[in-house]
A and B are shown apart, each in its own frame.
Chain A
Amino acid sequence: MRVVYRRAWYFLSFGAPGLLIYVCFVLVPILLSVGYSMTNYSLLRPGWTWVGLRNYELLLTDQAFLTSLRVTTILTVMVLVAPNLLGLAIAVLLDRRGWFYNAMRSVYFTPMVLSSVVVSVIWTRVLDDEGPLNQALRFLGVADPPGWLSDPDYALFSLGGIVSWQMLGFCVVVYLAGLQGVPNELAEAASIDGAGPWTRFRRITWPLLAPALTVNTVVLLITTFKIFDHVKVITNGGPGTGTTATVAFTIMQEGFVENHQGYASAMAVVMLVIIAVASVVALRVLQRREVQL
């Protein structure tokens, strides 16, 4: 009896306060959205009727929504790969002591404190047709450098580059922390055994970085899937129809431009299910890998 009482008290004092706020202000709104997704609710018109699963049926053939899923997937894959790879390389490069490396680290960390709006404004100037990047390319002899944001073939990749730049610092931090957890004795012992730098990295460092890889992948996954501000400020979903319209952007268009809040809620629910599945799978796979290593 006392054990049960103590457990309940532990839950009430430690678990419940945070959980309660979360349930009220996030979970209930999500459930309300699920409710709306089965109505034809509009922000501007009083009254609504149940439409059951009709919104979900419409989604299956909605070109704009399917395109936005494709756009978001491409973006997510880019942002999962680039900052992870580059972040690891840079972390290895920076894994030294001294003021010089400290200063260099600060440079990579700074974009983390910038808001997405700020990052977007900066990059709009950098990628301008006559901006710094194209000037550099012209200087290097590229006669006709691409329109990074105006060419539909490039715009999505430019966006991926921008988000990767912003997230790179996060990955560097996490990998650096991981690298500092690698005991020096292990590496020294291996090098006495005649292992080269690559073998040492592959056999000793990389396995020990498994938790860092998990953290990075999960955080990148959920951040990228939510991308909205960059699209809003830089391309507004263009150039042209749906070129860079992410799921979050499409949901906002549907709800606040076309006034179909019910339908937009259905999109949000599908989006939520997709990321939930993706991150649970990613987490499982990566954590299992951690254990095996």
Chain B
Amino acid sequence: MRRPLVTLAVTSVFFVPLYVALVNVVKPSALIPGAGAIALPIPPTLDNLSAVLTDPTNLFWASLANSVIVTTLSVIALTLLSAMLAHYLARTAGRWGRLITVLLLCGLMIPPQVILVPITQVLRAFGLMTTVQGLVLFNVGYYIPFGVFVFTGFLKGIPADLEEAAAIDGAGRGQAFWRIVFPLLRPATASVLIFLSVWIWNDFLSPLIILGPGQGTTVTTGIYRSLGQYSFDYGGVFALMFLSTLPVLIFYLALQKQFVKGLTGGATKG
């Protein structure tokens, strides 16, 4: 069988940058530029990691807490709201539904940094600048099109009769949705959860500006900060990148099996 060998060879090439990301976490900074990037770390050092974790400004731990809170709140709210909106759109035919879909598509396409200034003006008008609530609401608004996009595809594969039957039994539309339909959406929910967690976790500009400069920072902002113009501490950068990616990586590995089905599950009727 040639397949495993071919797979292994192709994957190895693809893996090289990931290897670079891993190996430089345990390598002294001075050895990283140029050809050193790929060398084996002999002897390996834990200095980079411990320097990040014991940094006197507590940058990593403080920003980890912010990232976890913002990501968790945003993703929970997003999953619920986008599932409901998707349900509404999937079950509402005609122009009205199509208009909303097109409006949502527009939002999916705009780079957040481009509309950041007006966003802060709106948030200020609501008195939500420099609050976590403000950032969560912005995240919900910005990412809801993606959630709707995934859920709608999936919902179209679930026959409407199912809910109607339940509705006749006396359960309201809401109850029917949460009891019967939402559990069926599990694969789609998994992919929405994983993608949005990754994206929100990795955002750095919006949290930086919306939470405000005095309100602490998020993990990705920390990476960007350590990349400063005058930075020579490559080992520290790689350690920070590794540590800040670890939580999403674990979350993603835990959900991996589910979400593979979710993206096209509805569409391919698997």
Are B114 and A268 in touch, CB under 8 angstroms?
A: yes
Cα–Cα, bound, A106→B37 (Å): 23
Is B103 touching A15 in the complex (CB atoms < 8 A)?
no
- With A25-B119, A107-B14, A113-B198 as known contacts, state yes or no: A228 contacts B34, CB within 8 Å: no
CB contacts under 8 Å to B, within A110-164, are 110-119, 121-123, 125-126, 128-132, 135
| A93 and chain B: residue at smallest CB distance | B7
Q: How many residues of A contact B (CB 8 A)?
A: 87
B-binding residues in A (CB < 8 A): 6, 10-11, 13-15, 17-19, 21-30, 32-33, 36, 43, 90, 93-94, 96, 100-101, 104, 106-119, 121-123, 125-126, 128-132, 135, 165, 168, 173-174, 176-178, 180-181, 208, 211-212, 214-215, 222, 225-226, 228, 233, 248, 251-252, 255, 261, 264, 268, 271-272, 275-276, 279-280
Do the beta carbons of B113 and A26 come within 8 Å of each other? no
- Residues of B contacting A123 with CB < 8 Å? 17
B138 neighbours in A (Cβ, 8 Å): 25
8 Å CB interface, B146-194 against A? 148, 153, 173-174, 177
Q: Are A222 and B263 in contact (CB under 8 A)?
A: no
A-B contact pairs, 21 of them (CB 8 A): A10-B88, A14-B88, A15-B85, A15-B89, A17-B84, A22-B140, A32-B122, A33-B115, A93-B7, A93-B10, A111-B17, A115-B202, A115-B223, A115-B245, A117-B227, A125-B37, A131-B37, A178-B268, A212-B268, A215-B153, A225-B109
Tally of chain B residues near chain A (CB < 8 A): 91
Cβ A215 vs Cβ B252 within 8 A: no
Say whether B107 contacts A22, CB under 8 Å: yes
Contact B8 A118 (CB under 8 A): no
Taking the complex as formed, is B76 at the interface, i.e. its CB lies under 8 A from any CB of chain A? no
Q: Which of B18, B111, B126, B141 has the most CB of A within 10 A?
A: B111
B65–chain A nearest beta-carbon distance, Å: 18
* Contact yes or no, A280 B137, CB < 8 A: no
B7, A94: Cβ atoms closer than 8 Å:
yes
Partner of B248, one of A17, A27, A113, A181: A113
Nearest residue (CB) in A for B262 is A177
Minimum CB–CB distance from B231 to chain A (whole Å) comes to 10
Which of chain B's residues 1-55 have a Cβ closer than 8 Å to chain A? 3-4, 6-8, 10-11, 14-18, 20-21, 24, 32-35, 37-38
